Amino acid sequence: MTQPAVDGAKDWSAIDRAVYVHSSTNLQQHLVDGPMVLTRGEGVRVFDGDGKAYIEAMSGLWCAGLGFSEKRLADAAYKQMTTLPYYHNFQGKTADVTIELAERLVALAPKPLTKIMFASSGSEANDTAIKLVWYYNNARGKPAKKKIISREQAYHGVTIAAGSLTRLKAIYDGFDLPIDRIRHVGCPHHYKLAQDGESEEQFATRLADELDAKIREEGPDTVAAFIAEPIMGAGGVIVPPATYFEKIQRVLKTHDVLLICDEVITGFGRIGTMFGAEKFGIAPDIMTLGKQMTSAYAPMSAILMRESIFESIAAESGKRGTFGHGYTYSGHPVSAAVALETLRIYEERDILGHVNRITPTFQSLLESYSNHPLVGEVRGEGLLAAVQLVQSKSPKKFFDTTAGLAKYLVARGHEHGVILRVLQNDAVAFAPPLISTEDDLKQIADLFGRALDDTLKVARERGLVN
Ligand SMILES: Cc1ncc(COP(=O)(O)O)c(C=O)c1O
């Protein structure tokens, strides 16, 4: 979207096109379209240079849970910056505030997780999880047990290792990914992938059997871990079929394969429980966190592990002389102070209770579009959802990937003043801020509905639907 000068002095659009390389963007097309420049935020809304308001139905990238103007987080950052703005955690050092956060997060996390490390992004957290698993299996005398199994349509980040766990075409193409030692099994999307008449439970059994067969085929002595988002986010907001995690965990136990639970999106109340692990009965060996941990006001991620993993890696580091891993910004005190304040706000304002109170409104507002000619499925949990566009409901037919209808819908959404996101296979994602009111959700649904009708009109004009 091209925009004129923002403040009368600078033409941000021209400068952007001249110098700035964007993420996840068609860079060539961007030179024509120019950026969408946001200049300010207030509550669940962001504003562009012309003062146009957009309701942020994606919390940015599923992360700004407390919206865009939480002063307490700014104050917490300022206070920390004027007390101890930086310290690292190498060679046994750290800031007091980081220890406080570590204690708080371990207390919040699912029971078996007792130790924590920090990084700055979800990708770094998942890279770290892979390194932990490798170090751990070297430590316990299983040097061949190194493969990590992920799933089709998973999203675990974009760094070389985490990007290999991700299984989306755009993340691989042109980047020579995935690296070796990474394998993938099926995506648990019942609506799209179940066979005719197959129940959720039967589908889950088939996927667990597939995982079991994959581990046997690779050799259990070579498979170290399985990684999963409780609900897949960027791959389509895929809610697992009933009994899926129960069956998957049984298979993993049989083969002594660790479970890494990627809660970068699902952590901190997004789906109505503190973590997705609670919702789906997952007992992770390692868990990664990010995004809503600081409500995205400062970059920070975390990796939690079981005591037994810590004991092995601690003993190994004793033998080797050091645990040779960590980043300059691991446990950054400003991010830690912001995270602590975020957690205090979640608790004081009972954000979890709020999410659960507004979830039925949110899900039923979206559900009300399920009779729309373009909508095949509405799926989600808590304040996380996707609307699946289809060319035909019966027989079920998805649009050709080149039709670009969800992309068009999201662009129309921008025109109407709502920020949504296109996912794989013409799904449209929703992850509104956790502080959204029922009125905010109604506005999101209403503006989405207008964009959906615009899209139907175009689909008809192009002869794609009747
Ligand atoms: C489930 C999940 N894991 C990991 C990541 C990567 O996080 P980051 O972009 O902070 O590296 C994301 C990002 O969206 C994610 O959704």
Rounded Cα gap, residues 365 and 256, in angstroms:
43
Whether 108 has a pLDDT exceeding 70, the answer reads yes
Rounded Cα gap, residues 418 and 363, in angstroms:
17
Bond preceding residue 299 cis, omega within 30 of 0: no
Closest approach atom of ligand 1 to CA 157:
6
Cα-based distances in Å from 254 to 104, 215, 216, 248, 437: 33, 10, 11, 10, 45
Do 248 and 317 sit in the same domain of this protein? yes
Average pLDDT value for residue range 91-119: 97
Do 128 and 140 sit in the same domain of this protein? yes
Closest approach atom of ligand 1 to CA 266:
1
Rounded Cα gap, residues 27 and 23, in angstroms:
9
Please, where are the H alpha helices in 263-349? 276-280, 307-320, 333-348
**386 CB burial (10 A radius; 0-12, 13-18, 19+):** buried
Whether 1 has a pLDDT exceeding 50, the answer reads no
pLDDT category of residue 5 using cuts at 50, 70 and 90: very low
Do 213 and 339 sit in the same domain of this protein? yes
Do 326 and 361 sit in the same domain of this protein? no
Pocket lining: 299 vs ligand 1, CB cutoff 6 Å? no
- Whether 30 maps to a domain, the answer reads no
- Determine the residue of 58, 153, 156, 268 to mutate for testing ligand 1's pocket, defined as the one with the most ligand atoms within 8 A of the Cβ atom: 156
- Whether 212 maps to a domain, the answer reads yes
Q: Which of 240, 285, 287, 286 is nearest to 263 (CA)?
A: 287
**Ligand 1 centroid from CA 265, angstroms:** 7
Total domains in the fold of the chain:
2
Q: Which of 202, 294, 300 is nearest to 244 (CA)?
A: 202
pLDDT category of residue 9 using cuts at 50, 70 and 90: low
The DSSP H or E segment spanning 370 is none
Give the list of residues 6+ apart from residue 232 with CB closer than 8 angstroms, or none: 151, 153, 154, 155, 187, 188, 238
Do 286 and 316 sit in the same domain of this protein? yes
Closest approach atom of ligand 1 to CA 62:
14
Rounded Cα gap, residues 59 and 432, in angstroms:
5
Please, where are the H alpha helices in 145-233? 160-165, 169-172, 190-193, 200-218
- Whether 191 maps to a domain, the answer reads yes
**Ligand 1 centroid from CA 76, angstroms:** 25
Bond preceding residue 432 cis, omega within 30 of 0: no
Chain-wide mean pLDDT for the chain?
96
Whether 221 has a pLDDT exceeding 70, the answer reads yes
Do 340 and 360 sit in the same domain of this protein? no
Closest approach atom of ligand 1 to CA 123:
11
Q: 348, 364, 390 — which closes off a domain?
A: 348
Question: b/e string for 390-424 if b means 16 or more Cβ within 10 A?
Answer: bbeeeeeebbeeebebbebbbbbbbebebbbbbbb
Residues 353-408: tens digit of each pLDDT: 999 999 999 999 999 999 999 999 999 999 999 999 999 999 999 999 889 999 99
- Whether 115 maps to a domain, the answer reads yes
Closest approach atom of ligand 1 to CA 126:
4
Pairing of strands 301-306, 286-289: antiparallel
Helix (H, G, I), strand (E, B) or coil at 41: strand
- Whether 247 maps to a domain, the answer reads yes
Whether 2 has a pLDDT exceeding 60, the answer reads no
Average pLDDT value for residue range 293-318: 98
Whether 271 has a pLDDT exceeding 60, the answer reads yes
- Determine the residue of 120, 155, 270 to mutate for testing ligand 1's pocket, defined as the one with the most ligand atoms within 8 A of the Cβ atom: 155
**Ligand 1 centroid from CA 201, angstroms:** 29
- Whether 240 maps to a domain, the answer reads yes
**Ligand 1 centroid from CA 354, angstroms:** 25
Pocket lining: 48 vs ligand 1, CB cutoff 6 Å? no
Do 430 and 379 sit in the same domain of this protein? yes
Pocket lining: 234 vs ligand 1, CB cutoff 6 Å? yes
Higher pLDDT, 294 or 6: 294
Give the list of residues 6+ apart from residue 304 with CB closer than 8 angstroms, or none: 105, 106, 109, 113, 114, 115, 116, 284, 286, 287, 288, 289
Pocket lining: 333 vs ligand 1, CB cutoff 6 Å? no
Per-residue pLDDT, 8: 59
pLDDT category of residue 10 using cuts at 50, 70 and 90: confident
Do 316 and 366 sit in the same domain of this protein? no
Rounded Cα gap, residues 311 and 309, in angstroms:
5
Q: Is 111 left (phi over 0), alpha (psi -120 to 50) or beta?
A: alpha
Q: What percent of the chain stands above pLDDT 90?
A: 96
Pocket lining: 263 vs ligand 1, CB cutoff 6 Å? no
**Closest residue CA from atom 7 of ligand 1:** 122
**Closest residue CA from atom 4 of ligand 1:** 156
Do 107 and 61 sit in the same domain of this protein? no
**Ligand 1 centroid from CA 289, angstroms:** 9
Pairing of strands 427-430, 421-423: antiparallel
Whether 208 has a pLDDT exceeding 90, the answer reads yes
> Rg of the chain's alpha carbons, rounded to an integer?
22
The CATH number of residue 63's host domain is 3.90.1150.10
Q: 330, 348, 366 — which closes off a domain?
A: 348
**Closest residue CA from atom 13 of ligand 1:** 157
Q: 313, 348, 383 — which closes off a domain?
A: 348
- Whether 116 maps to a domain, the answer reads yes
Rounded Cα gap, residues 445 and 385, in angstroms:
12
Pocket lining: 60 vs ligand 1, CB cutoff 6 Å? no
Residues 115-169: tens digit of each pLDDT: 999 999 999 999 999 999 999 999 999 999 999 999 999 999 999 999 999 999 9
* Contact (Cβ atoms closer than 8 angstroms) between residue 323 and residue 131: no
Do 62 and 82 sit in the same domain of this protein? no
Pocket lining: 309 vs ligand 1, CB cutoff 6 Å? no
Write the secondary structure of 381-396 as one string of H (helix), E (strand) and C (coil).
Answer: ECCEEEEEECCECCCC
Residues 29-60: tens digit of each pLDDT: 999 999 999 999 999 999 999 999 999 999 99
Whether 7 has a pLDDT exceeding 70, the answer reads no
* DSSP conformation class of 128: H
Amino acid, single-letter form, for residue 138: N
Q: Is 435 left (phi over 0), alpha (psi -120 to 50) or beta?
A: alpha
Do 222 and 304 sit in the same domain of this protein? yes
**Ligand 1 centroid from CA 264, angstroms:** 6
Do 118 and 165 sit in the same domain of this protein? yes
The CATH number of residue 299's host domain is 3.40.640.10
**Ligand 1 centroid from CA 122, angstroms:** 4
Rounded Cα gap, residues 121 and 106, in angstroms:
19
- Whether 4 maps to a domain, the answer reads no
Average pLDDT value for residue range 300-310: 98
Residue 252 structural domain: 73-348
Per-residue pLDDT, 466: 86
- Determine the residue of 265, 275, 292, 297 to mutate for testing ligand 1's pocket, defined as the one with the most ligand atoms within 8 A of the Cβ atom: 265
